[in-house]
């Protein structure tokens, strides 16, 4: 295997053409030794449903399609793909944010790969069919209750973070966000005209014991495989759901995970700690809304929202041993740069890496994707969201292709 290692953070002079680049450097993680042993399997193809969505979604999804073609060519698969519309794109074509037919495809796919939804074009469409409703329907109907949002600070990007290098360098935390409950889905959810020139808006934050229990288990199990620490965040000083959350997490800990170190933080204090000293955390478990907010904060620690992948997982079926899953970047549709070919495809590519890891038990190729991303960054390539002085700014396709070129080199 041709592979040159350099010291962490060492800078490699950027080159003009990515095609003629010499063997890459690895900033983090070594090449998975087992990679070469992978072969096309005697198995039915893995069925992927690609939902590019709106804005930069289709642009970053195009890079995943190249990655899938690469995997198939290398005998790492086979993956079969279908495509569907979601979000504003589905609304324009069908008047809904996702059709029943697309939902049926999602139900039978081995994994859904999702781009992004939304944009100012659909600001005025009715609430029920707004682009985001498509994503929420997928989460709810596929019962994807566990949202895993890792925040890893790649060494070459420590300078791109708004925080000091020493605060974020080497950061590796996992936010586990409850995804099918809480205020996102609680009823009633209404705006009522009070008739006196006033209106009243109601959202309902609701959690049952079983919902807290199963997400807590995901958090504890992940912590066990990592640095064995779980921090639970809620606001039990104000909210009843916080009181129950705290109680149930403690209970699960006592019953099944005494070996894992458990801490509790109020979500506001937790937000503060995330920017003060993020490396104190290993796994954070929290509800749907706090998880939404805290994961955006965590994303920025890593340099850019364009870097963060996510996995949304359902329960493992006792019958099939499989679980439903959707993989999407944490970033949105970025309408301001849509169509310009500038978007950072890394979060999307890394989301596909998470699919390999969590849906297909292919952790070596998943490691390879992460190593290739690190290598492309170590070479000095940057999309505009993560640019810094002296680096080479490239577009979506060039970054995607650079990652593939590194995979090719690393895999030997
Ligand atoms: C996210 C997004 C979504 C959410 C939107 C698009 C509905 O912000 O995945 O974090 O709020 O969950
Ligand atoms: Mn969000």
Tell me if the pTM is above 0.75.
yes
How far is 309 from 151, CA to CA, in rounded Å? 8
Pairing of strands 146-152, 172-178: antiparallel
Q: What confidence tier does 42 reach under pLDDT thresholds 50, 70, 90? A: low
Least confident residue range of 231-240, 303-312, 379-388: 303-312
Task: Show the ligand 1 pocket: residues with CB < 6 angstroms.
Answer: 132, 135-136, 292
Q: For residue 39, what pLDDT is reported? A: 54
Least confident residue range of 97-101, 102-106, 242-246, 301-305: 301-305
Q: Could you tell me which of 403, 325, 363 has the C-alpha nearest to residue 67?
A: 403
pLDDT (tens digit per residue) in 19-36: 323 333 333 334 444 555
Among protein residues, the one with the nearest Cα to ligand 1's atom 7 is 132
Q: How far is the CA of 296 from the centre of ligand 2 (A)?
A: 6
Q: How far is the CA of 355 from the centre of ligand 2 (A)?
A: 20
Q: What confidence tier does 179 reach under pLDDT thresholds 50, 70, 90? A: very high
Strand partners, 284: 175, 231
How far is 388 from 380, CA to CA, in rounded Å? 9
> Ligand 1, from 122, 292, 312, 331: best to mutate by most atoms within 8 Å of Cβ?
292
Tokens read off for 214: 């199963």
Buried b (16+ CB within 10 A) or exposed e, 254-279: eeebeebebebbbbeebbebbeeebe
Q: Is the dihedral of CA 52, 58, 61, 66 positive or negative?
A: positive
Pairing of strands 323-329, 309-316: antiparallel
Give catalytic residue positions.
184, 235, 268, 292, 296
How far is 150 from 343, CA to CA, in rounded Å? 20
Taking the CA of residue 116 as reference, the ligand 1 atom at the shortest distance is 6
pLDDT (tens digit per residue) in 206-228: 999 999 999 999 999 999 999 99
Among protein residues, the one with the nearest Cα to ligand 1's atom 8 is 292
Average pLDDT, the chain: 90
Q: For residue 155, what pLDDT is reported? A: 84
Residues written for the chain: 412
pLDDT (tens digit per residue) in 64-85: 999 999 999 998 889 999 999 9
Q: How far is the CA of 330 from the centre of ligand 1 (A)?
A: 8
pLDDT above 90 coverage of the chain, percent: 82
pLDDT (tens digit per residue) in 261-295: 999 999 999 999 999 999 999 999 999 999 999 99
> Ligand 1, from 179, 287, 332: best to mutate by most atoms within 8 Å of Cβ?
332
Q: How far is the CA of 13 from the centre of ligand 1 (A)?
A: 38
pLDDT (tens digit per residue) in 229-238: 999 999 999 9
Among protein residues, the one with the nearest Cα to ligand 1's atom 6 is 132
Q: For residue 304, what pLDDT is reported? A: 81
DSSP notation for 338-406: TTTT----HHHHHHHHHHHHHTS--HHHHHHHHHHHHHHHHTTEE-GGG--TTSEE--HHHHHHHHHHH
Looking at the CA of 179, name the nearest ligand.
1
Q: What confidence tier does 412 reach under pLDDT thresholds 50, 70, 90? A: confident
Q: How far is the CA of 322 from the centre of ligand 1 (A)?
A: 25
How far is 145 from 181, CA to CA, in rounded Å? 8
Looking at the CA of 147, name the nearest ligand.
1
């Amino acid at each position: 295997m041709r592979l040159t290692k350099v010291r962490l953070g060492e800078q490699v002079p950027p080159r003009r053409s990515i095609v003629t680049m010499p063997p890459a450097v690895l900033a983090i993680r070594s090449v998975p030794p087992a990679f070469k042993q992978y072969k096309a399997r005697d198995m039915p193809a893995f069925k992927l449903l690609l939902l590019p969505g709106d804005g930069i979604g289709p642009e970053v999804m195009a890079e995943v399609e190249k990655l899938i073609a690469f995997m198939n060519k290398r005998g790492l698969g086979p993956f079969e793909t279908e495509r569907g519309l979601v979000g504003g794109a589905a609304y324009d074509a069908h008047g809904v944010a996702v059709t029943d037919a697309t939902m049926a495809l999602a139900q039978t796919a081995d994994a859904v790969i999702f781009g992004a939804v939304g944009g100012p074009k659909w600001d005025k469409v009715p609430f029920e069919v707004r682009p985001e409703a498509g994503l929420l329907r997928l989460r709810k109907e596929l019962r994807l209750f566990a949202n895993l949002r890792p925040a890893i600070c790649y060494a070459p990007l420590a300078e791109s973070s708004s925080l000091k290098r020493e605060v974020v360098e080497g950061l590796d935390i996992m936010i586990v966000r409850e995804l099918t409950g809480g205020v996102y889905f609680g009823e009633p959810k209404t705006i009522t005209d009070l008739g006196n020139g006033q209106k009243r808006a109601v959202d309902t934050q609701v959690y049952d014991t079983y919902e807290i229990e199963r997400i807590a288990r995901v958090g504890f199990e992940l912590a066990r495989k990592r640095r064995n620490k779980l921090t639970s965040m809620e606001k039990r000083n104000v909210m009843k759901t916080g009181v129950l959350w705290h109680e149930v997490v403690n209970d699960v800990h006592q019953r099944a995970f005494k070996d894992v170190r458990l801490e509790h933080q109020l979500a506001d204090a937790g937000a503060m700690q995330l920017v003060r000293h993020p490396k104190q955390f290993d796994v954070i478990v929290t509800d749907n809304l706090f998880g939404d907010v805290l994961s955006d904060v965590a994303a920025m620690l890593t340099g850019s929202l364009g870097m963060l992948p996510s996995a949304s997982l359902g329960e493992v079926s006792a019958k099939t041993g499989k679980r439903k899953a959707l993989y999407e970047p944490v970033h949105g549709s970025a309408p301001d740069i849509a169509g310009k070919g500038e978007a950072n495809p890394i979060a999307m590519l890394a989301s596909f890496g998470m699919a390999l890891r969590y849906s297909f038990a292919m952790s070596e190729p998943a490691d390879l994707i992460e190593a290739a991303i690190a290598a492309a960054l170590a070479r000095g390539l940057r999309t505009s969201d993560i640019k810094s002085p002296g680096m080479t700014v490239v577009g979506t396709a060039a970054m995607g292709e650079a990652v593939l070129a590194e995979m090719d080199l690393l895999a030997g």
